[in-house]
Amino acid sequence: MEYYCATHMPMFADALGDACAGWGASTVKSGPWAAIAWAHVESQEAFDATMAEHGGKIMEDIPNYTNVMPEMIIGDVDR
């Protein structure tokens, strides 16, 4: 979690730039996951553009914090 919060997620947020309105991560206490993280991104288009440009670097960093392939869930935030 230390590497994930100090290195991986800030790298992802930096890649999103101004499109990132915030991010966070939590340890999960039940269920099949060890942790969950989120990023609030202004649009699907901004997310897609970031992943097209920086996705390789972001995905290559995964072995630095886990040996499990993360599951990505995309949705809308209701306010």
d(CA 35, CA 50): 23
pTM of the full predicted structure? 0.86
How far, in Å, CA of 69 to CA of 64, rounded?
Answer: 12
**Residues in CB range of 33: below 8 A, 6 or more apart:** 71
pLDDT digits (tens, 9 = 90+) for 4-55: 999 999 999 999 999 999 999 999 999 888 899 999 999 999 999 999 999 9
The arrangement of secondary structure in 2-64, i.e. its CATH architecture, is 2-Layer Sandwich (3.30)
Q: 23 has which bridge partners?
A: 39
| Residues 3 and 20: beta-carbon distance below 8 Å | no
Give the confidence band of 77 by pLDDT, cuts at 50, 70, 90: confident
Where along the chain do its domains lie?
2-64
